[in-house]
Amino acid sequence: MSPAVAQPRTAVVSGGSRGLGRKLVERLLTDGWRVATFSRDANEFIEKQRESHPDTFLWQSTDMLEPGATRTFVETVDAQFGRIDLLINNAGVLHQGLFLTMASAEVRELLTANLLAPVELTQACARSMTRAGEGVVVTVSSINAIRGYRGVAAYAAAKAGMEGLSRSLARELGPAGIRVCTVTPGFFDSEMTAGVTGQNRQRIQRRTPLGRLGTTEEVVEAVVFLASPAAAFITGQSLVIDGGISC
């Protein structure tokens, strides 16, 4: 009898079109995962993955600010791949602005994109994982969740909310075989941080004990570790990747 062939694992990565999400998609495809991702717009990277991985890559245009949009996306993933083994809550939005003058629509958008939509996505994916009796959820938080900074209050509230969700879910879903963790990065280069001035970059670097800025690859490594069997007894924890700036 031929040995049983291991079923490919399926990862859902929100916001996989660029920045950290893109690096996560590339790494997971290289490691043999089936990868489902969404963003509002496709780009050259997405089109290339669709061509080169027609059976193992799924992208769907989804605006997570639309009510129910992430649930619809998860239904598509379940229909196409049959199971979800890993969720990486990566998509996020940051507009900087002082809380006292920020328009309420903007506060609402930050809380929806960084908290409500990922909560709904997590619920839909966790229901799917419960059917399989195993799974891992890794949420990309931010050091704004654990330290105070001016101009990011609503974003920080949402990220702290996701860290709280993860700890409680670790307790609730552990008995169902599902681990739930967060990674908490400091500054790294991406479209989200393209507007940060050279002077501010230097300031962050100066305040970082390891004396430099982080890279997306370093965050990817932490996510891949938490998703792997090497982290099989780790749940409810947050791994800070910030060169020591928050210590």
Ligand X SMILES: NC(=O)c1ccc[n+]([C@@H]2O[C@H](COP(=O)([O-])OP(=O)(O)OC[C@H]3O[C@@H](n4cnc5c(N)ncnc54)[C@H](OP(=O)(O)O)[C@@H]3O)[C@@H](O)[C@H]2O)c1
Token code pair at residue 150: 């001016």
One-letter amino acid of 30: T
Min. distance of Cβ 2 from ligand X in angstroms?
A: 40
| Residue of 155, 159, 166, 213 marked active site | 155
Closest separation between CB of residue 62 and ligand X, Å? 6
- Quick check: is 155 catalytic? yes
Distance set, CA 175 to CA 21, 115, 169, 179, 181 (Å):
29, 24, 10, 9, 15
* Contacting positions for ligand X (CB under 6 A): 15, 17-21, 38-41, 62-65, 90-94, 113, 140, 142, 185, 187-188, 190-193
Least separation in angstroms between CB 130 and ligand X: 25
CB closest to ligand X, residue no: 19
| Shortest spacing between CB 205 and ligand X, in angstroms | 13
Alpha carbon distance 29, 9 (integer Å)? 10
Q: Which is nearer to ligand X, 35 or 91 (CB)?
A: 91
Instruction: State the catalytic residues.
Output: 155
